[in-house]
Structure formats: C-alpha cells, structure tokens
C-alpha cells in the first residue's frame, strides 16, 4: 500500500542533503554577488530603462499604444507557452514527480513563480504603454493601467495553463497569439508610416481602465482558484517537457552557449511533424535540393520573414546608420531560415562524407538558398522604405538584390561557428575579467556584414542612390563572399567547422 507523504518535508530533506557539502558562507556569498550584479547593471542601464518604460514626455500615438498592447499580449502568451508555463526543476522532475507526494502541493511553487513572472511582465507592459502614450500628469483612473496589465498577465497564464493540460486547442490559441502579435507589429508600422498624431489628454478614457481592471480581478481570482483545484491533472509529459526547456535555457545561460536552445527548438519542431517527401529535379544540386525541401516544409517561417520586411520602417526616424544596420541584420535572420542543415553538417559531416563532397563544394551549394532569401528580403525591405518615403530616390530594389551574397556569407559563417570556445584567455578590464570565447561566438556572422558597409554609408548620408553605388556594393559583396569561401574551405577537407 502506497502512503502519500508531505511534499514539504521531502523538499526540506532534499535541500539539506544537497547543501550539506557547501561551506557556511557560500550561500551568503552568492546572494551578495546577485545583489551587487543587479546594483551595477541597474546603475549602468537606468537611463536606458527609464527611456523604455517611462520617457520624460509621451511620444507615441493612441494607435501605437493599442498596437503595443497587442504585441505585449501575443508575445507574453507565446513566451508562457514555450516555457510551459508549469514546470519543475530537474531534480524534482526526476525524483518527486513520480513519488507518492501531493501533485498539487508539488506544482504550487511553480504556479506561483509563473504567476509572479506573468504579473510582473504585464505590469511592465502596462507601465510602458502608459509612459509612452498617456498625457502628463496621468489622471488617477489611468494610473491603474499597470495593475490591469498585471491582471491581464495572470489571465494569459490561466489560458496557457489550460492549453498545457489540454492540447486539443493549444494550437489554435498559439495561432491566435501569433495573429495578435502580427497585428500589433502591423499597427506599429502603420503608425510610423503615417506619422499618427499624439494621443489626446483623455487617453485612455477615464472609466474604461477601472472597469476593465475590476472585471479582470474578478475573472482572474475565480479561475485561478479553479486552476489550483485542477492543478494535479496536468499530464506528466507536459511537465517534463517544460522542465527540459527550463533546463536547456539554464544550461545555455550558464555555459554561454546559444546553440543548445537552437538545437532544442529544431529537434522539437521536427519531432511533431508528419513528413511527406517529394523529390525535386535531379538537375538541382543535392544540398540545394535539401535546403529547398526543408524550407518548403516550414511555410509559416516564410510568412514571418515576409512580414518582417516591414520592421525596418519602425526605425525610419532613427539615425541613418541605425536603420542601415537593422536592414543588414534582417538579411542575416532571413538567410538563417535555411541554415539549420549547415549547423548539422558542421557538427557531424557524415552526410558530406557519404556524398563525397568537400567542404568547398558543400559551402558553395549551401550559399544558394540563404543568398536568395537574403536578397529577396533586402529587396523587399529597401523597396518598402523607399515607397514610404524614408529613403531618397534611387534603385534601392537593385541594391537589395546585390546585397544577397553578403547576407549568405554571414549566415553560413554564423551557422559554422559551432560550440563556444571557453578555453580562450580572458581579458582583464577595469570592470573585471572578460571572457573572449562567448564574445567571438556572438559576433560571428555579424562581422561578415561589414561587406554591406557601402550600403551603410549610402543610407547614413541620405543622398540619392545611383547605379554606381549599386555596382560598388555588388562588387564588394561578391568578392567578399568569394574570399570567404576560398579562405575557410578546402577541396581536400570535409569538415565545415572553422579552423
């Protein structure tokens, strides 16, 4: 006969056993380091944080405020869904999930942590909307907007909890969140394009915020109590999945290794798909055909890339060099949609050995699909900026097309970087030791975007674009991509990892 034991006493026993080897002052030292880290980072970034959440004067329209609300709601819900939202630590998932303890009491700390995180995110979102849109001084009823944001975060958590326990409609809720986020981004782009006027002094309407806050408080309280009662019904595999996600994120942060997260996302996506094969023409090179097939199986990513071409318009009023850098980085993200195969081959080149392809042949074939994606993305983004009047006259569409080789080379270099080398010597700075391995890994790929320097200069100067400028950019991008292939690959070597 199995007897249920109190989970609190088990947790205390595990905590005492786990910390028995620690020195007496070790926990205090960790707490001191955390407080000091927050104080130093806060002192360095408090001006930037104030500009984000509470600028000196409101600087956004009512349309931007509503669009920002949609982005926050959609983004927060998707973040909760990707994190679980209900999970356990690895030791608890291994030893306590199947132990004879109360499931509700075991999961309650995770629920409280998720509720606090969601409420905090909602509060910050409401504060940012209020700070950027509402006129000063803020009327008393409107000051409840951060509280409404916190309650809305709690409501999103309850929806995500139900989706975690019942996967029948989880895909629909995810799609709805994607649509909300996309609609919000579209609203921000429209607001930037039409230069919408600032919100009136009565925004938002005085009676709306208190009514919405009261309604949310009643609904969230009632359904939160119901969620606590049904907490034990969450399937084990959903909790384990969330625990793996949290563990991978912690491993990635502790080891400064973003490839852990990338690999987890790719593996989890393909594990849930039913694949059907349709061969392409045999005239298409084999690795190009593989990239095209994988790209065809992810049409949603292509839609997001198409929508992302409008995002540079949000920086139309920023300095020219910031707009140019954002455009170049967007091409890197577009090319990255077809870079998963390069990461796989760089880690394990068994496919290249079976096909008898050298590293040079492989990289040349892998450049095609990212190059076309980056060129089309650059062409669409620059054409849209020109159409909105944010760029001077000139053949910007052609400049986007010739930027493709630069984006492709940056994408391939980023995909070939492999694991972070933590064995490199750190640099001693006045602010402490600085690890060079993660820094080199973070800038891999971005450094190749220097091939787009003629475009940066052209946009920063704000002068009309000529065909000579297009030719110069095309020559620099093509020669740079050719030099990258020649300098980092060989005809008698298979491995793609950079030496």
What is the per-residue pLDDT for 264?
85
Mean pLDDT over each residue of the chain, to the nearest integer: 85
The pTM assigned to this predicted structure is 0.82
- The string over 473-485, giving b where at least 16 C-beta atoms fall within 10 Å of a residue's C-beta and e elsewhere, is bbebbbebbeebb
Q: What are phi and psi of 478, to 5 degrees?
A: -65, -45
* 362 vs 340: CA distance, rounded Å: 14
Question: Stretch 103-130: mean pLDDT, rounded?
Answer: 91
Helix or strand run (H / E) with residue 432: strand 432-434
Instruction: Count CB-CB contacts under 10 A for residue 339.
Output: 25
CA distances in angstroms from 327 to 297, 384, 401, 475, listed in the order given: 26, 12, 13, 19
Higher pLDDT pick, 268 / 213: 213
What is the per-residue pLDDT for 26?
66
Instruction: Count CB-CB contacts under 10 A for residue 69.
Output: 21
Distance between first and last Cα of the chain: 61
Q: In the beta sheet, which residues pair with residue 101?
A: 5
CB contact set of 86 (below 8 Å; sequence gap of 6+): 107, 110, 111, 114, 161, 164, 231, 234, 238, 239, 242
What helix, strand, coil percent values describe the chain, rounded to 5?
A: 70, 0, 25
Asked whether 199 and 65 are in contact (CB, 8 A), the reply is yes
Write the pLDDT tens digit of every residue in 179-202. Answer: 999 999 888 888 887 777 777 777
Write the pLDDT tens digit of every residue in 46-71. Answer: 787 887 888 888 888 888 888 999 99
* 56 vs 372: CA distance, rounded Å: 44
DSSP 300-316: HHHHHHHHHTTGGGGGT
- What 3-state class would DSSP assign to 420? coil
* 143 vs 205: CA distance, rounded Å: 12
Write the pLDDT tens digit of every residue in 235-265. Answer: 888 888 888 888 888 888 777 777 788 888 8
What is the per-residue pLDDT for 287?
92
Question: Stretch 297-323: mean pLDDT, rounded?
Answer: 87
Q: In the structure encoding, which two tokens stand for residue 85, read together?
A: 């939202």
* 313 vs 326: CA distance, rounded Å: 10
CA 326 to chain centre: 15
């Amino acid at each position: 006969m199995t007897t249920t034991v109190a989970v609190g006493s088990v947790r205390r026993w595990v905590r005492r056993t786990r910390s028995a080897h620690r020195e007496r002052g070790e926990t205090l030292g960790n707490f001191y380091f955390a407080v000091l880290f927050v104080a130093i980072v806060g002192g360095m970034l408090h001006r930037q944080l104030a500009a984000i959440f509470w600028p000196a004067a409101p600087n956004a329209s009512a349309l931007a405020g509503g669009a920002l609300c949609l982005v926050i709601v959609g983004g927060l819900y998707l973040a909760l869904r990707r994190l679980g939202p209900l999970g356990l630590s690895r030791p608890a998932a291994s030893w306590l999930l199947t132990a004879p303890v109360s499931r509700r009491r075991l999961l309650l700390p995770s629920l409280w942590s998720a509720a606090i995180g969601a409420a905090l995110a909602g509060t910050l979102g409401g504060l940012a909307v209020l700070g950027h849109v509402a006129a000063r001084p803020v009327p008393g009823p409107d000051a409840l907007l951060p509280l409404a944001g916190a309650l809305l975060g709690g409501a999103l958590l309850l929806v995500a909890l139900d989706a975690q326990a019942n996967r029948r409609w989880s895909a629909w809720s995810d799609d709805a969140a994607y649509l909300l986020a996309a609609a919000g981004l579209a609203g921000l782009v429209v607001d930037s394009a039409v230069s919408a006027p600032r919100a009136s002094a009565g925004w938002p309407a005085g009676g709306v915020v208190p009514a919405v806050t009261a309604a949310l408080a009643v609904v969230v309280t009632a359904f939160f109590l119901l969620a606590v009662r049904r907490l034990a019904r969450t399937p084990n595999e959903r909790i384990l999945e969330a625990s793996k996600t949290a563990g991978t994120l912690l491993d990635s942060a502790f080891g400064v290794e973003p490839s852990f997260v990338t690999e987890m996302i790719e593996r989890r996506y393909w594990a849930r798909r039913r694949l059907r094969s349709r061969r392409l023409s045999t005239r298409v090179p084999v690795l190009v055909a593989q990239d095209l097939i994988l790209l065809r199986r992810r049409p949603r990513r292509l839609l997001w890339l198409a929508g992302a071409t409008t995002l540079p318009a949000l920086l139309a009023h920023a300095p020219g060099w910031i707009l140019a850098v954002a455009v170049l980085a967007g091409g890197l993200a577009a090319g990255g949609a077809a870079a998963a195969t390069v990461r796989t081959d760089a880690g394990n080149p068994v496919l290249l050995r079976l096909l008898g392809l050298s590293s040079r042949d492989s990289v040349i074939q892998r450049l095609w699909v990212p190059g076309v994606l980056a060129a089309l993305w650059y062409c669409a983004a620059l054409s849209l900026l020109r159409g909105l009047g944010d760029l001077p006259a000139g053949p910007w569409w052609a400049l986007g097309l010739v930027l493709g080789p630069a984006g492709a080379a940056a994408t391939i270099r980023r995909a070939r970087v492999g694991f972070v080398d933590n064995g490199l010597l750190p640099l001693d700075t006045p602010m402490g030791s600085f690890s060079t391995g993660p820094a080199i890994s973070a800038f891999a790929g971005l450094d190749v975007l220097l091939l787009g320097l003629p475009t940066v200069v052209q946009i920063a100067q704000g002068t009309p674009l000529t065909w000579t400028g297009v030719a110069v950019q095309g020559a620099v991008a093509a020669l740079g991509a050719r030099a990258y292939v020649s300098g980092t690959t060989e005809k008698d070597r298979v491995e793609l990892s950079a030496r």
